[in-house]
Amino acid sequence: MRSSVRLVLQQGHRTFFLLAPLWAILAGIVWELWLLVHATGGMMDLPGPGMAPHLWHGHEMIFGYAAAAVAGFLLTSLAGARAGFITLAAGLWLAGRLVVWASGPLPGLVVATIDLAFLPLLAGHVAQILIRRRNPQQAVFLVFLAAMTLGNLLVHLDWLGWAYGSTENGLRIGIMALIGLIAVLGGRVTPGFIRNALRRAGAPEDQLPPETPRLDRATVALAILLPWSATWPRIASVVALGLAIAHSARLIRWRLLSTRRDALLWALALAQSMLPVGLVLWALSVWKIGSEVAALHVLGLGVVGGMTLAVMSRAILAHSGRGLVAPAPVAWAYALMAFATAVRWLGSTGPTSWYFNLMLLAGAAWILAFTLFLAGLIEALTTERPARPAPPPPPPLPPEMKSPHS
């Protein structure tokens, strides 16, 4: 047990790709229990948090679960870290979860100080590594970390009573920062992974996803603007529509149908396809067409949930020396996340008599998806990388090629 804990704390993907799904499950169960009490006609406040239960739920999905998943990605792909920093960062993230849960009796400044510390710590470490490696093109991810920090700050300022009503803006900024980050990340990894898979399958070059530098630049610019415009919803809705159009133009060129036989690829493709859908739904809701809550959950479950599952599982398999094939439970987790997205959207747009049943069904699918994710990958997260098999000895030389002195 002790050796497994030591191993988990040695690599960022092991630490945070374990914490993120565990928190997704635990927070999901708490939310399901609260929904169940209300669905049966009861009334209940959560025993620890000082904020309304739905605000705790939204905060912990964005600044708890998703922040951990982002940390795992950044500490794996962009900026490696020593075990000491990983332990410090994980401890600070966990302390944030605990003080937000116990925020009712705790001083608000203590809660805010501890919970707000994690993202700046992560951003400072990433910036230090990028400067050392002279890698400025990756600095775009720091912009999204800064936006997430601002969003979390606005939430805490409201909870402290210093900026009444800023919680909703803070949550919007947080989720739009995640969507912007995913648009940038998706544009880098998704076509590349598809291209590699098609090359291995022997596809000719003219059938591979083409490079789209102009569309990529437009998408990155709009993705950066999205969270910073979120406090002005009508401006943000125009940015969101622009990002949806630019990203859709890229998707058309990515040969997404070629991913249907590879779960690791179609999970990425599905999450990326939901991004413009969710943005269009959200932009329309700003103009009173449709439900904003429904649109935000398409973005939160379908895009953030789906993309983090896909990226985490691929990184775990690659960095633990396993083959890049999604275990069956993990493939089912991808499908369940898409199912949860559709059901949650319907819960906010369908008849009110369906609301609680569909909410509970979506929550159960979320919990089951992460349970299956852990079932399929817990061994890869908590055990040593398997040793590579020794190369076979070279075949013996034929007699006519042997040296007379051998």
The confidence score (pLDDT) of residue 91 equals: 97
Residue segments in the chain with a per-residue pLDDT below the cut of 70: 1-2, 387-406
Please provide the distance, in angstroms rounded to a whole number, between the alpha carbons at the two ends of the chain: 53
Coil, helix or strand at residue 90: helix
Q: What single-letter DSSP state applies at residue 257? A: G
Other beta carbons less than 10 A from residue 60's beta carbon: 24
Rounded distance between C-alpha atoms, residue 95 and residue 17, angstroms = 17
- The answer to whether the CB of 343 falls within 8 A of the CB of 362 is yes
Token output for 253: 């060129």
Task: Write down the domain spans for the chain.
Answer: 2-382
Q: How is domain 2-382 classified at the architecture level of CATH?
A: Up-down Bundle (1.20)
d(CA 3, CA 295): 44
Identify the residue whose tokens are 């990983």: 86
CA dist., res. 243 & res. 235, Å (int): 13
Distance CA 78, CA 130 (A): 8
Q: In angstroms, what CA-CA distances link 189 with 211, 263, 264?
A: 12, 15, 12
Q: What digits encode the pLDDT tens for the residues 151-202? A: 999 999 999 999 999 999 999 999 999 999 999 999 999 999 999 999 988 8
Report pLDDT digits (tens) over 289-307.
999 999 999 999 999 999 9
pLDDT, residue 254, reads: 94
Distance CA 241, CA 29 (A): 34
What is the per-residue pLDDT for 207? 87
pTM beyond cutoff 0.85: yes
Q: How many whole angstroms separate alpha carbon 112 and alpha carbon 368?
A: 31
